[in-house]
Structure 1
Amino acid sequence: MSHQLPTVPHWIDGARRESGSGRTAPVYDPALGRQTKAVALADEAEIQAAIASAAAAFPGWAGTSMARRQQIVFRFRELLNERKLELAEIITSEHGKVVSDAAGEVARGLEVVELATGFPHLMKGGHSENVSTGVDVYSIKQPLGVVGIVSPFNFPAMVPMWFFPIAIAAGNTVVLKPSEKDPSAAIWMAELWKEAGLPDGVFTVLQGDRLAVDGLLEHPEVRSISFVGSTPIAQYIYETAAKHGKRVQALGGAKNHMLVLPDADLDLVADSAINAGFGSAGERCMAVSVLLAVEPVADELIEKITSRIAQLRVGDGRREPDMGPLVTEAHRDKVASYIDIAAADGAEVVVDGRGIEVDGEADGFWLGPTLLDRVPTTSRAYTEEIFGPVLSVVRVACYEEGVELIDSGAFGNGTAIFTNDGGAARRFQSEVQVGMIGINVPIPVPVAYYSFGGWKQSLFGANKAYGPAGFDFFTQEKAVTSRWLDPSHGGINLGFPQN
């Protein structure tokens, strides 16, 4: 008799809701290479039930005082901080990233929760007195209603926390559709909200596939959609949600470049390239995937990176190696295929991550750090987002050639320059057509009180994630023009008021 694997349920009306759809998807432990759970895939009735629950909870939550909402967000923050290692271990078991890396993910999400605890200040409107005689004008920020979040597999805790703490603090109710690949973190966070005192229906988790996504995109009660993922899906979500009259913040893909000038500290560059290229197995939208080496530094830099790769240990993330597996076998194979593509196009495979020794089960979804040199800029290995531990080196003759390559790409998410020349750095930050820039910083993810998002095909919609942009996105503004008449007013006057 086969062992029945557990199924990750929905969270509706403040409780786990077992699915009746009869549809599930496998959830793997990537370090073991085998299925350990299933996740429910919602049917139409469950989609409607999730959204109806959030819609029913909205009036009461929007009408809850700011003081009470703030207390609940503070309590969620305290509980999350106390138990963050527990959440990190859940992430590792389904995504595969090293536990310390998963803990770092939770910590970055916690920053946004902490920002949200100060939401009353960010919800203040403006006030102008006596704009015309006896007339005042002021503005009010109010919540939207039910908001939808569709999150990716690579950050199952941090990316949802870019959105839901701000949305909830501002008075909205949330329906989160997590990735089917690692769905358990969302349920864990839902239970934490319950413990923090959040009313039932304010935070809902709808497990599912494209049927659930389209349900959120098309349902009239859902007022906005927040998404992070690949560019084709981001574009689809943006166009579909906008067609149905929703606000959209859809963060797409990336092909992030690191420009290295000859005066840079090459040891710092090598360390940063390793950290930014291979952390979380390269499954980051802010990973550095292309190193633009301004000659004559490429040979020395490749030597330094190669020596550092040789010291890396790949294995089961629970054993605290340097790098874990990729999330699924199919994704591992897709990433590995780009090594063949690059080689066929004339690139040199300096370090090949296929078939490496690992500290883990043989069936895990392994691909070690890979270094490619002299990658042609016409190769798909250069132009497409690989989303894995593959770092490409492209040799350029000068600063201008490097910037031209960065700007000619379809994406504009993140980039970095490594130099000791302040003038070059200042010129770079002004000229380069990218939304997030690092100067001697390889992964320039802004802190929570700024906002995250790129340019070009890395962002669809006008709003970036979290920070001031997040509060603008999850609220709508009313402008009120008010006059309280003095009893001694001069009577009727049908003319247009002028003073």
Structure 2
Amino acid sequence: MDTLTLKYPKVQQFINGRFVDFPDESCLEVISPLDGSLLSTVPLSSAETLDQAVQAAKTAFPLWSGIPIKERVQVFYEYMNLLKKNSRALSELICEEGGKTLIEARAEIDKSIELTEFACSLPQMIGGEVLEVSRGVECRSERYPLGVVASIVPFNFPSMVPHWTIPNALVLGNTMVIKPSEQVPLSVMRIAALLKEAGLPDGVFNVVNGDKTIVEAICDHPDIAAISFVGSTKVAKLVYTRGTANLKRVLALGGAKNHLIVLPDAVPDMTASNIVASVTGCCGQRCMAASIMLGVGEVDHIVDLICEEAQKVIPGKNLGAVISRQAKERIENYITEAEKLGARIRVDGRNTVVSGKEDGYYVGPTIIDNVTADMAIAREEVFGPVLAIVRTQTVSEALTIENSNPYGNATGVFTQNGSAARYVAERASTGMVGINIGVPVPREPFSFGGWNESKFGALDITGKSSIEFWTKLKKITTKWNAEAGVNWMS
């Protein structure tokens, strides 16, 4: 392909501190969802390319892990400053390759900065325990990095999700190979450049682009100790099964079907604005987006406000694009099917075209009332700016619907009744709960993660509890005092 037609140079691999080309690798086009323009091409790498990256990481591991954590973290203080300095350019790149609004992209960079800032605090959290367990005998625990780890990240957050893993895993002494989504590879390549500029030693961080072939190769590679994955539940299951079958530590985060339970006493304006923001933020392409509203009793006054609020969200203005033409078609098919089954389309976002960006992939905010729990739109992950409203009579009935779905990322409840809110929080089968909050994402040091088919594996990759995932525990028992005598311990 003539490189003059590309807005950005062809995406390369980043191995051992250098951007490198493998000319014989086939490529995919990187298309901007905003207007359908060609941004770049991304190589579909082979298992041999992955092995080069893993060997670079393996070679870098002894030196990097041998540096005291107080010194390793200095690289990330500098990196955090570079994120701040380059925030505008990084945000604009997210818009181009991912289709987000500039406000959403800036928020993603702000979150990336926060995640890096948290990693800089890890030296204060990783200290082990020391205890005199018997006269003259001391036990202590220390944490050690795993070695070479891999991170497989999705299209919907090309900066934030990589920062769920990169700062924590590397500060804790691991070296990494990351595989970005082939739909949005540009942001991760920019991250690689900034990490090098911040002083990260060569080989500590490597990027290998590709598709299913590289994911499978990561799961199979004998020198990769752990894998983190974020994406669909279908693929999360496959990665978890294949990775653990190869005796790796794996944590795979999958999809979601998040329910918001709305009671009649909910504050109308706040509830409507929160729900619409949850539905339409990032064009609904996030695993914490509201997907179903479970209206309990008489909530027509709130539904009417939701519809009014949704019409203030304008594609191309304060609503971005979905990732691809195929995604647009899939989302609109869900809406059409629900309508055919008797649901009422209150706000219709199908067939949206943005003036001047006619080749972009846009779906407008969509509110569908009178949905029944057996419809596909109520059971399956739509991943678009669509809210299905299911009517219920009691909180218990709403929770039964919520807890019968296979996913378990988030539940929200909107009410001014503390007892009702606590009832939902205690009984919802989800890992994250929001009370009068449409997107209950925990902030650091709390970790992100759901239950059921939204998460496969133990521990967390973010927050304070990520220390356990990215390190292994060593216990040391010491006796220096010969006069202490001999007992059953020695």
TM-score in terms of structure 2 length: 0.97
Query: Contact 2:369–2:389 at 8 Å: present in 1 too?
Result: yes
Aligned to 1:173: 175
Shift of 1:133: 2.6
Shift of 1:4: 4.6
Shift of 1:99: 1.0
Cα distance in 1 for residues equivalent to 2:340 and 2:272? 26
Structure 2, unpaired ranges of 5+? none
Alignment of 1:248-263 (within 5 A): 248-263=250-265
Cα distance in 1 for residues equivalent to 2:356 and 2:288? 27
Secondary structure of 1:94's match?
helix
Alignment of 1:480-491 (within 5 A): 480-486=476-482
Shift of 1:35: 2.4
For residues 59-84 of structure 1, what are the alpha-carbon distances to aligned partners after superposition, in whole Å with 9 as ceiling and x for unaligned?
Answer: 01000122221211111111112212
Shift of 1:311: 2.2
Secondary structure of 1:274's match?
helix
Cα distance in 2 for residues equivalent to 1:22 and 1:236? 25
Shift of 1:371: 1.0
Shift of 1:338: 0.4
Query: Contact 1:140–1:479 at 8 Å: present in 2 too?
Result: yes
Aligned to 1:318: none
Query: Contact 1:383–1:409 at 8 Å: present in 2 too?
Result: yes
Residue among 455, 474, 497 paired with 2:488: 497
Cα distance in 2 for residues equivalent to 1:266 and 1:287? 20
Cα distance in 2 for residues equivalent to 1:126 and 1:323? 50
1:322 aligned to 2:318?
yes
Closer/same/farther in 2, CA of residues 349 and 497 from structure 1, 3 Å limit: same
Aligned to 1:313: 314
Query: Contact 2:272–2:302 at 8 Å: present in 1 too?
Result: yes
For residues 208-252 of structure 1, what are the alpha-carbon distances to aligned partners after superposition, in whole Å with 9 as ceiling and x for unaligned?
Answer: 111111111111110000011110111111111100111111111
Aligned to 1:303: 304
Query: Contact 2:233–2:453 at 8 Å: present in 1 too?
Result: yes
Cα distance in 2 for residues equivalent to 1:356 and 1:216? 39
Aligned to 1:400: 396
Shift of 1:360: 4.0
Secondary structure of 1:148's match?
strand
Cα distance in 2 for residues equivalent to 1:105 and 1:4? 29
Secondary structure of 1:371's match?
strand
Cα distance in 2 for residues equivalent to 1:312 and 1:467? 33
Cα distance in 1 for residues equivalent to 2:367 and 2:221? 46
For residues 236-282 of structure 1, what are the alpha-carbon distances to aligned partners after superposition, in whole Å with 9 as ceiling and x for unaligned?
Answer: 11111100111111111100011001100111111011100011110
Cα distance in 2 for residues equivalent to 1:498 and 1:392? 63
Residue among 402, 410, 422 paired with 1:426: 422
For residues 305-349 of structure 1, what are the alpha-carbon distances to aligned partners after superposition, in whole Å with 9 as ceiling and x for unaligned?
Answer: 22222222211xxxxx21011111111111111011211222111
Shift of 1:399: 1.0
Cα distance in 1 for residues equivalent to 2:234 and 2:484? 62
1:375 aligned to 2:375?
no
Aligned to 2:335: 339
Query: Contact 1:19–1:41 at 8 Å: present in 2 too?
Result: no
In structure 2, give the amino acid aligned to 1:192. L
Shift of 1:489: 7.2
Cα distance in 2 for residues equivalent to 1:139 and 1:14? 34
1:70 aligned to 2:73?
yes
Residue among 147, 150, 154 paired with 1:148: 150
Alignment of 1:213-362 (within 5 A): 213-297=215-299, 299-315=300-316, 321-362=317-358
Aligned to 1:454: 450
Shift of 1:19: 2.5
Shift of 1:357: 4.6
Shift of 1:445: 0.3
Secondary structure of 2:350's match?
coil
Query: Contact 1:96–1:324 at 8 Å: present in 2 too?
Result: yes
Shift of 1:359: 4.6
1:475 aligned to 2:471?
yes
Cα distance in 1 for residues equivalent to 2:184 and 2:450? 25
Cα distance in 2 for residues equivalent to 1:193 and 1:358? 37
Query: Contact 2:227–2:249 at 8 Å: present in 1 too?
Result: yes
For residues 141-179 of structure 1, what are the alpha-carbon distances to aligned partners after superposition, in whole Å with 9 as ceiling and x for unaligned?
Answer: 000000000000000100010111000000000111000
Residue among 74, 86, 96 paired with 1:83: 86
Cα distance in 2 for residues equivalent to 1:427 and 1:47? 49
Closer/same/farther in 2, CA of residues 133 and 383 from structure 1, 3 Å limit: same
Alignment of 1:122-141 (within 5 A): 122-129=125-132, 131-141=133-143
Closer/same/farther in 2, CA of residues 294 and 135 from structure 1, 3 Å limit: same
Aligned to 1:114: 117
Shift of 1:44: 2.3
Secondary structure of 1:411's match?
coil
Query: Contact 1:149–1:225 at 8 Å: present in 2 too?
Result: yes
Name whichever of 29-38 and 159-168 sits farther off. 29-38
In structure 1, give the amino acid aligned to 2:459. N
In structure 2, give the amino acid aligned to 1:24. C
Cα distance in 2 for residues equivalent to 1:361 and 1:242? 45
Aligned to 2:106: 103
Aligned to 1:61: 64
In structure 1, give the amino acid aligned to 2:391. R
Shift of 1:108: 1.4
Residue among 425, 432, 435 paired with 2:431: 435
Secondary structure of 2:225's match?
strand
| RMSD over aligned Cα atoms | 1.5
Cα distance in 2 for residues equivalent to 1:366 and 1:213? 29
Cα distance in 2 for residues equivalent to 1:360 and 1:55? 49
In structure 1, give the amino acid aligned to 2:406. A
In structure 2, give the amino acid aligned to 1:50. A
Query: Contact 1:417–1:438 at 8 Å: present in 2 too?
Result: yes
TM-score in terms of structure 1 length: 0.95
